């Protein structure tokens, strides 16, 4: 009888308990918190709480994508600025080194630079008591004598006044771009004659033949010598078609009084042509290898 009463009490207790009542506890940091309860077949920590809708997720992804695209757009600019800073600092160092080397090699009493006030390459300087001399040579590599280096210097020189110990030199530092190729390449000064004219308010144009235009690449640096023999360092903005010729747009505007015939000395990367001849006269059409340039007037 007593056992039957106990069974009846237990049955009544179960009947009056909440459905699916299975609450446990766990200790987290010393605090007792209830575990999720199974209510109406769904697990939930907070009754009535819903998740994100598909539209909300898509909007969040779109905002994130726009932010990432804006950040990615900064990388090309940062790389270009970094390259410019490197060329400016390292190029200037190589130019100063080249100037010191040339000062030690050139002597007014030994060289025989023409007195017509026109530039000649430093790799082909006439001597008073012997054949022409390459005043750059292996010392033109940077560091000096490291012939496997892709960096170095070259340039041009002219006598400002005939017979006088008064010279102007343009020293150019470079970094060869085709250094991994099996073909032999080097940088070579190349002269081109053309016509200087006004292009826009802030830019002049230098019109040259199609053949000479092959030496001019965008952002390349060259020396421009005007009809009055004065000189200026210029940079190419773009090369465009002008009739049967090519228009080299410069990064600066010159006064109208300086327009007319002019000569440019361009520094471009060339390859040996034909192979094994020792003649480096074929332009590769690569971007300009020039890092920096300096012009100086001095006595030797």
User: What pLDDT does residue 13 have?
Assistant: 56
User: What pLDDT does residue 21 have?
Assistant: 44
User: What pLDDT does residue 25 have?
Assistant: 47
| Mean per-residue pLDDT of the chain | 80
Domain contains 22 = no
First to last CA, the chain: 131
Domain contains 6 = no
pLDDT grade, residue 97 (50/70/90)?
A: very high
How many domains are contained in the chain?
Answer: 1
Judging by DSSP bridges, how do beta strands 280-283 and 185-200 pair with one another?
A: unpaired
Adjacent-strand bridge partners of 280: 272
Domain contains 27 = no
User: What pLDDT does residue 48 have?
Assistant: 56
Question: Is the pLDDT assigned to residue 4 strictly greater than 70?
Answer: no
What are the tens digits of pLDDT across the range 230-239?
A: 888 888 988 9
State the residue range of the domain holding 228: 78-298
DSSP single-letter state for residue 55: H
| 236 CB-near residues (< 8 Å, 6+ apart) | 216, 217, 218, 219, 220, 221, 222, 248, 249, 250, 251, 288
* Range list of β-strands (E), 201-298: 203-208, 221-225, 231-242, 245-250, 260-272, 280-283, 290-298
Domain contains 95 = yes
Sign of the CA dihedral 247, 122, 158, 167?
positive
**Residue scoring higher pLDDT (218 or 29):** 218
pTM above threshold 0.75: no
pLDDT grade, residue 178 (50/70/90)?
A: low
pLDDT grade, residue 217 (50/70/90)?
A: confident
d(CA 71, CA 87): 25
Average pLDDT in the 116-132 region?
Answer: 88
- What CATH number corresponds to the domain at position 162? 2.40.30.170
Phi/psi for 229 (5° steps) reads: 70, 0
Sign of the CA dihedral 224, 226, 231, 233?
negative
Question: Is the pLDDT assigned to residue 180 strictly greater than 70?
Answer: no
What are the tens digits of pLDDT across the range 59-89?
A: 999 999 998 888 888 888 888 788 788 888 8
Domain contains 11 = no
Full 3-state SS string of 95-129: HHHHHHHHHHHCCCCCECCCCCCCCEECCCEEECC
Question: Is the pLDDT assigned to residue 23 strictly greater than 70?
Answer: no
User: What pLDDT does residue 158 have?
Assistant: 92
Contact criterion met (CB below 8 Å) for 190 and 265: yes
Domain contains 243 = yes
Domain contains 13 = no
């Amino acid at each position: 009888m007593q056992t039957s009463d106990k069974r009846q009490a237990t049955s009544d207790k179960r009947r009056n308990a909440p459905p699916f009542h299975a609450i446990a506890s766990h200790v987290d940091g010393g605090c007792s918190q209830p575990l999720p309860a199974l209510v109406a077949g769904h697990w939930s920590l907070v009754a009535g709480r819903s998740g994100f809708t598909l539209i909300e997720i898509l909007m969040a992804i779109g905002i994130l994508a726009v932010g990432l695209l804006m950040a990615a757009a900064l990388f090309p600019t940062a790389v270009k600025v970094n390259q410019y800073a490197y060329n400016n600092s390292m190029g200037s160092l190589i130019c100063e080194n080249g100037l010191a080397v040339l000062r030690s090699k050139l002597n007014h009493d030994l060289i025989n630079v023409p007195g017509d006030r026109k530039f000649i390459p430093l790799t082909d300087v006439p001597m008073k008591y012997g054949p022409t001399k390459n005043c750059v040579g292996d010392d033109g590599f940077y560091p000096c004598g490291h012939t496997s280096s892709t960096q170095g210097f070259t340039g041009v020189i002219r006598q400002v006044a005939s017979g006088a110990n008064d010279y102007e030199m343009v020293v150019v530092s470079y970094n060869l771009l085709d250094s991994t190729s099996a073909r032999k390449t080097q940088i070579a000064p190349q002269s081109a004659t053309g016509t200087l004219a006004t292009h826009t308010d802030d830019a002049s144009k230098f019109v040259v033949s199609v053949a000479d235009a092959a030496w001019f690449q965008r952002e390349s640096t060259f020396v421009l010598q005007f009809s009055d023999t004065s000189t200026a360092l210029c940079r190419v903005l773009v090369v465009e078609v002008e009739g049967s010729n090519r228009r080299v747009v410069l990064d600066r505007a010159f006064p109208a009084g300086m327009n007319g015939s002019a000569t440019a000395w361009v520094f471009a990367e060339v390859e040996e042509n034909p192979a094994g001849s020792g003649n480096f006269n074929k332009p590769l059409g690569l971007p300009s290898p020039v890092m920096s340039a300096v012009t100086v007037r001095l006595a030797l």
